[in-house]
């Protein structure tokens, strides 16, 4: 199978899951990064969520992740900027970090208060969220109000214990086919919610990320959901727990956007 076949297959897979969330979609150029605003009917104009899709840095697109972005928009009551960051192998990993940083700067340039911005990512996008936050910090940009990492892949070497112990129960993510982020300094990152399933091969990634974040003084929350597949929120159209965790994301984001605003 070629990389093009794999990308097309992921898009078809996501279409087959279904898309039943009504949203307005507006294409934009976010500092050279192709993107779209996804806004549910209940979304306010000012709060924003920068969303980074998954796909092992080689798959995924704004189209294949539009349904998840739509549900996050509805749960957070915010517009979601769904971005088409550059993928490997055509582009090295840091290209994705650069694109996420450029897109974040674009959101700031729209006059949106960083205290009203959240960043969220799933799988590779969860790891990219961590790397992007470090990039925001190191380049002198203000931090967003909060971050959400869904089943984050942060160990690009795949050496976590659950890469082996959970290999028999996680049908979505295996060591084979995955190639760091784990060495990034986390000091100064905003309040972060890490969501992971107890069945995942990436469980160790989440627990190690949280341990490191706590050591760096980050206000981090780890929530483990029993017996879910990798990035189970994508199955929200057919899986009740998928929608439940999206509702939890909305609760977390709204809480921290409000807290950040009240502190000003």
pLDDT number for residue 96: 96
Give SS3 for 253: helix
200 backbone φψ class: left, alpha, beta (φ>0; ψ -120 to 50): beta
Domains annotated on the chain, with CATH: 3-263 (3.40.50.1820)
User: Using CA atoms, how far apart are residues 163 and 8, in angstroms rounded to an integer?
Assistant: 27
User: Using CA atoms, how far apart are residues 262 and 119, in angstroms rounded to an integer?
Assistant: 19
Dihedral sign (CA 36, 31, 135, 219)? negative
Give the tens place of pLDDT for each residue, 197-230: 998 888 998 999 999 999 999 999 999 999 899 9
pLDDT number for residue 56: 87
- The angle that helices 240-263 and 66-76 make with each other, rounded to 10 degrees, is 50
CB-based contacts of 110, cutoff 8 Å, min separation 6:
none
Strand 24-30 with 33-39, pairing: antiparallel
Tokens coding 169? 């129960």
pLDDT number for residue 184: 83
Q: Does residue 145 register a pLDDT over 90?
A: yes
Among 71, 146, 60, 152, CA closest to 99: 60
Tokens coding 110? 């729209």
Q: What is the DSSP letter of 184?
A: S
Q: What is the DSSP letter of 88?
A: T
Among 35, 39, 59, 58, CA closest to 48: 39
CB-based contacts of 240, cutoff 8 Å, min separation 6:
none
Q: Does residue 32 register a pLDDT over 60?
A: yes
Give the tens place of pLDDT for each residue, 67-110: 999 999 999 999 999 999 999 889 987 899 999 999 999 999 99
* CB distance 45 to 78 below 8 Å: no
Catalytic positions are: 123, 200, 230
Give the tens place of pLDDT for each residue, 153-200: 987 554 545 444 444 443 333 333 333 565 789 999 999 999 999 988
197 backbone φψ class: left, alpha, beta (φ>0; ψ -120 to 50): beta
pTM for the model stands at 0.87
User: Using CA atoms, how far apart are residues 264 and 249, in angstroms rounded to an integer?
Assistant: 23
């Amino acid at each position: 199978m070629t990389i093009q076949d794999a990308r097309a297959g992921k898009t078809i897979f996501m279409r087959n899951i279904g898309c039943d969330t009504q949203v307005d979609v507006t294409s934009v150029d976010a500092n050279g990064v192709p993107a779209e605003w996804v806004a549910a009917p209940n979304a306010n104009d000012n709060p924003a969520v920068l969303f980074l899709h998954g796909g092992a840095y080689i798959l995924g697109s704004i189209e294949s992740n539009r349904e998840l972005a739509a549900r996050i928009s509805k749960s957070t009551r915010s517009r979601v900027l769904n971005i088409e960051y550059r993928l490997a192998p055509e582009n090295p990993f840091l290209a994705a970090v650069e694109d996420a940083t450029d897109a974040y700067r674009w959101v700031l340039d729209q006059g949106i208060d960083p205290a009203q911005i959240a960043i969220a990512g799933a799988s590779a996008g969860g790891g990219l969220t961590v790397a992007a936050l470090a990039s925001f910090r190191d380049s002198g940009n203000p931090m967003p109000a909060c971050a959400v990492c869904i089943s984050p892949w942060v160990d690009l070497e795949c050496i976590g214990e659950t890469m082996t112990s959970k290999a028999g129960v996680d049908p979505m993510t295996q060591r084979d086919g995955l190639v760091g982020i784990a060495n990034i300094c986390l000091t100064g990152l905003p309040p972060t919610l890490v969501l992971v399933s107890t069945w995942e091969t990436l469980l160790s990634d989440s627990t190690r990320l949280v341990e490191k974040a706590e050591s760096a003084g980050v206000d981090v929350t780890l929530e483990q959901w029993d017996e879910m597949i990798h990035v189970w929120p994508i199955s929200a159209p057919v899986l009740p727990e998928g929608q439940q965790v999206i509702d939890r994301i909305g609760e977390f984001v709204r809480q921290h956007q409000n807290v950040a605003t009240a502190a000003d």
